Amino acid sequence: MSHTAQITSHRKPRRPSASAMALRAGVAGGVLSTIAVAGSAGTANAEPVTETIEMPVLSPTAGLALAVEESVQSQQQIAFEQDAQAREDSAADRAAKTAKKAKAEAVRLAEAEKKAEEKREREEAAAARAAEQERAARAAERTDLSTARTASAPSSGATGGTTGGSQSQAPSTSAPASGSVATVINFLKAQLGDAYVMGATGPNSWDCSSLVQAAFRQVGVDLPRISQEQSTAGTPVALSNLQVGDILYWGNAGSAYHTGVYIGGGQYLDAANPAKGVVIQDLSGYPATGAVRVL
């Protein structure tokens, strides 16, 4: 092969730049415009064109920059509109979810409140029925006690031997002042079932000392209000020599913490505690510390 032979280059052909392409397009456009004007004039049998019309040539760099700027602005506008729409859609979706959740919560609260109200009404109705039954039972009990007291008044008031052998068993049931002990005991029994409330003084709730005070007030005996003073209010009595109507106390005399009244048969009546209320109990189950007699 001759050293002068041309060797095919392996380099890729260079692609015209954008500015060169724009320049060529401008020149071609101007030439084509001139040819079109000339042809049009020849067809109309006009005089030969003696003047060449020069078309404005757009600067390649300015045209490219303008096209790029317009493209960028268009894309930015599209992106902005898409972002705004996405934000709007997201906000609407969140608002819908929030409204749905709020509605569900409102329904739940309304149902819970309705159930609570129905439960409260049932409880109130049940409490009213129970209270009515308790009042009826207590009224019947008081009627029975009153009838029994009226029937037994002559024998309880007797102090001599006018009734024969029935007076031989009277030491624990008879009392001074014409049956005052019976009056005390009847009053105490009429309060059976009442509630124990610390500091209460009746008529349907008591503490231990207020019940004792109220019972003896029925016969004109004015006892102190608190257990400590009631434990020293009368004549001390041995527990082996108790009589009906004696005041029992628990704790030391002068510092007792509880009082009740002996009703005979090894039993006493007291306002025991919040769990029991006013009840009759056996001394064997909770022996007293001491006793005093005021009648």
DSSP string covering 40-51: HHHHTT-PPP-S
- Inside any domain, residue 169: no
- What integer pLDDT is reported at residue 294 of this predicted model? 95
- Inside any domain, residue 170: no
Rounded CA-CA distance 291/278 in Å is 19
Could you say which of 35, 59, 89 is where a domain stops? 89
- What integer pLDDT is reported at residue 121 of this predicted model? 81
pLDDT digits (tens, 9 = 90+) for 229-275: 999 999 999 999 999 999 999 999 999 999 999 999 999 999 999 99
- What integer pLDDT is reported at residue 161 of this predicted model? 32
Domain count, the chain: 2
- Inside any domain, residue 38: yes
Give the CATH number, domain containing residue 234. 3.90.1720.10
- pLDDT tens track, the chain, 295 positions: 455 455 455 555 555 555 555 545 554 455 445 444 444 544 445 455 555 555 555 566 777 888 888 888 889 999 999 999 999 999 998 999 999 999 999 999 888 888 888 887 887 777 777 666 666 665 555 555 555 445 444 433 333 332 233 223 333 333 333 479 999 999 999 999 999 999 999 999 999 999 999 999 999 999 999 999 999 999 999 999 999 999 999 999 999 999 999 999 999 999 999 999 999 999 999 999 999 999 9
- What integer pLDDT is reported at residue 179 of this predicted model? 76
* In 37-193, beta strands by DSSP E: none
- Inside any domain, residue 79: yes
- Inside any domain, residue 249: yes
- What integer pLDDT is reported at residue 182 of this predicted model? 95
- What integer pLDDT is reported at residue 167 of this predicted model? 29
Q: Cα–Cα distances in Å, from 177 out to 75, 114, 180, 188, 217?
A: 115, 61, 6, 18, 14
- What integer pLDDT is reported at residue 18 of this predicted model? 55
Q: What residues contact 222, with CB distance under 8 A and at least 6 apart?
A: 216
Could you say which of 54, 89, 124 is where a domain stops? 89
- What integer pLDDT is reported at residue 258 of this predicted model? 97
- Inside any domain, residue 11: no
- Inside any domain, residue 146: no
CA 183 to chain CA centroid, Å, is 50
Structural domain that includes position 84: 19-89
Could you say which of 89, 124, 145 is where a domain stops? 89
Tokens 């020069």 map to which residue? 54
- What integer pLDDT is reported at residue 122 of this predicted model? 82
- What integer pLDDT is reported at residue 111 of this predicted model? 86
Do 286 and 183 share a structural domain? yes
- Inside any domain, residue 171: no
Name the nearest CA neighbour of 258 among 221, 206, 185. Answer: 206
Do 286 and 186 share a structural domain? yes
